[in-house]
Chain A
Amino acid sequence: MLPVTLTVNGERQQLLAEPRTHLADLLREKLNLTGTHLGCEQGVCGACTVLIDGVPQRSCISYAVDCDGAEITTIEGFDTDPTMAKLREEFSAHHALQCGFCTPGMLVTARDIVLRLGEVPEARVREELSGNICRCTGYVGIVGAVCATARGCAPRDSAAPIAATALAAAAVAAPVETAAPRAAQPLTGGTSLTETIAIAAPPDQVWDAMGDLPALAACLPGAEITEVDGEAIKGRMRVALGPIKVAFAGTGTVSLDAATRSGVLRGAGRDGGTGSSAEGELRFALTPSATGTDVAITLQWRLTGALAQFGRSGLVADLVRRLAAQFAANLQARLAGQAPPAAPAALNLFQLLWAALKARFGR
């Protein structure tokens, strides 16, 4: 618990809050200001919109401790506000609410539109209202009420400019090398991709080197095989996607076919933290080439649960693409008996794995 001092609807409040408590919960649970509604709790629906230091903000994605020292105005704090009085009248006249769930946030946003922009075309009002969702009215009444309130109003002057100082010298960044575009990769349904890497060694030698499964898995950043029992494997896959960090623990199978010099690793696992599941398959096949061996690697995956719902499929595809490229580079380095190339900052876990790799192969 951390101390928080807020001025709520003109009254100074000294409270204790856990850092994870968002402002809306503090207002509702500690101060009984239940006019602030919680809909989506991810900043999309707008029901929780309140004024923080005079401007509308989402109280569900603003943490109470992060608002320490701020002035808060909730829907309960506008009793004497003339603009809000007019809005209340017009909302009533235009039938701008039915169940009322969105209304507190809608009114806070509407008041900001009227005061900040004054009378503006209906299309602009609709654009400005797009961050507040109403499932009853179809918006016609709400837009009508806001337009009626704003009729004849002039826009408020914007707040004072932020003072600037003189900038002595411009920063100079290292020039960017334009990376050569990567060759087209067949992507079936956006959930698989193929990389082919060329190794300067004969297929037999490459096949032998790839027989060491834990070492092979270690070439994939974040992957670790902890147990091998015949065809059954147990392992972990850790992935960092920005602030999201997941660790899938699970089991899988591996089958290697020496005749065709190809193999398949399959695995499925669950991340307890996000309640997400992943299934993945890594196929590889060796073919002789003029310079040695071509290793074709296909990665296929499927995500379910919270992570899949949150992540747009393209973002995961981008991550897997980077993982596959890193896997190819690491495998190539390992087969060539070289140290793997320097890790890009992209794969935070790589530092960890690099240490593991060094421990394994560096002796």
Chain B
Amino acid sequence: MKPAAFDYARAATIPEALAALRDGARPLAGGQSLGPMLNLRLARPGKLVDIKRAEGMRAVALSATSARLGAALTHAEIEDGRIEDVTRGLLPHVARGIAYRAVRNRGTLGGSLCHADPAADWVTTMAGLGATMIARGPAGERAIAAEAFMLGAFTHALAEDEMLAAVEIPRLSPAARWGYAKINRKTGEFAMAIGMAVLDGPLARVVAGAVEGPPALLPRAAAALLAGETPDLDAELAERLPHLPPPERKLRAVALRRALAMLSEAR
């Protein structure tokens, strides 16, 4: 239960962190997912570079259309509303459901996204919001659409010498409605299924999460929502998630129905 030996360095700036990554170090943010893997000796990196204290990694920038959140902001800071919420309560709601308070106090938004556990909350949330990942690498900044960020279980679109610096989240209008439902057996556990829906004027997004791979956007369900019709979730899930056995698909359909039911709740 003790990690294999590794070296550790703290990066004061993003360029310093990138230099360490080029030298083969792996990034460490809150370490709330990496820590257990290190302790179990499943992960044995030679060197870790702490990127959460690098300048700009906790910055917040706002515009009329979006918010840019530094990747090292913690789940608890989002839960407590310490960052102006541009999502009509969605982000704090999601944050409160992540693991436990002691984990949320250290775990970071960007760390969770880069860990890319299919059952984690932020990968699904960001895909559902149509957010944009801001990567930093040797060539500068690169924007990646959230739904193209996660490639598979524990696998994301960043190169070995890139890191996630921020996430840009589109601002929802005052009329926006959302639903986010997570099924798990115990509070704070990784989700068995996640359903999410956002309806904001002409924009609708429906996404099934915790599907053992990248979250699955359901464009037909979204179109049905806009047309005021009842989406045929089972058919679209069968098409999008052929690898899941039917009972597993059913669970995602239940999560989605709960999320859709939340759309009519007043906030």
Contact = CB atoms under 8 A, between A and B. Distances in A.
Interface of A: 2, 18-20, 22, 25, 41-44, 46, 49, 52, 55-58, 60-63, 65-66, 68, 109, 112, 127-128, 130-132, 158-176, 178, 181-185, 187, 190, 193, 241-245, 273-274, 306-307, 310, 312, 314-319, 321-322, 344-346, 348
Contact of A346 (B76, B119, B151): B151
Nearest to A61: B35
Contact of A112 (B67, B101, B147): B101
Nearest to B64: A167
A166 B62 contact: yes
A317 B151 contact: no
A164 B158 CA distance: 26
Contact of B32 (A22, A52, A61, A274): A61
A345 B159 contact: yes
Contacts of B41: 273-274, 306
Chain B CB within 10 Å, residue with most, of A58, A109, A175 = A58
A42 B50 CA distance: 19
A19 B134 contact: no
26 contacts: A44-B36, A46-B100, A52-B105, A55-B76, A56-B105, A58-B103, A61-B39, A63-B8, A66-B50, A68-B10, A158-B82, A160-B82, A161-B81, A162-B60, A162-B82, A164-B62, A167-B62, A167-B68, A170-B132, A175-B145, A244-B37, A306-B40, A306-B42, A310-B37, A315-B118, A318-B213
B248 to A, nearest CB: 8
Contacts of B103: 43, 57-58, 131
* Interface range for B: 35 or more
Interface string B94-120: 000001111101100000000111110
A243 to B, nearest CB: 4
A42 to B, nearest CB: 4
A131 B105 CA distance: 13
Given A162-B77, A181-B240, A346 B143 contact: no
B145 A185 contact: no
A1 to B, nearest CB: 11
Contacts of A318: 118, 152-153, 212-213, 243
B65 A170 contact: yes
Given A19-B6, A243-B154, A310-B42, A165 B243 contact: no
B141 to A, nearest CB: 8
B168 A171 contact: yes
Given A131-B101, A131-B188, A167-B63, A317 B243 contact: yes
A41 B242 contact: no
Contacts of A193: 243
Interface of B: 1-8, 10, 26, 28, 31-32, 34-45, 48, 50, 58-63, 65-68, 73, 76-77, 80-84, 99-103, 105-106, 115-119, 132-134, 141, 143-145, 147-148, 151-160, 168, 170, 186-188, 190, 212-213, 217, 219, 239-240, 242-243, 245
Contacts of B152: 318-319, 321-322, 346
Contact of A321 (B48, B73, B243): B243
Contacts of A127: 187
Given A42-B40, A162-B60, A321-B243, A167 B77 contact: no
Given A19-B48, A184-B242, A243-B26, A314 B38 contact: no
A109 B100 CA distance: 10
Chain B CB within 10 Å, residue with most, of A49, A170, A306 = A170
A127 to B, nearest CB: 5
A171 B134 contact: yes
What 10 pairs across the A-B complex have the smallest Cβ distances?
A: A131-B100, A242-B154, A61-B35, A314-B212, A19-B8, A243-B43, A42-B36, A167-B61, A184-B242, A130-B187
Nearest to B78: A162
Given A164-B62, A167-B66, A346 B155 contact: yes
Nearest to A38: B1
B151 A66 contact: no
A183 B160 contact: no
A245 B106 contact: no
A62 B65 contact: no
Contact of A244 (B8, B42, B65, B68): B42
Contacts of B80: 158-159
A177 to B, nearest CB: 9
Given A20-B38, A61-B39, A63-B31, A161 B84 contact: yes
Contacts of A160: 82
Contacts of B81: 158, 161
A297 to B, nearest CB: 16
A175 B144 CA distance: 9
A171 B143 contact: yes
Nearest to B68: A167
A231 to B, nearest CB: 33
A65 B8 contact: yes
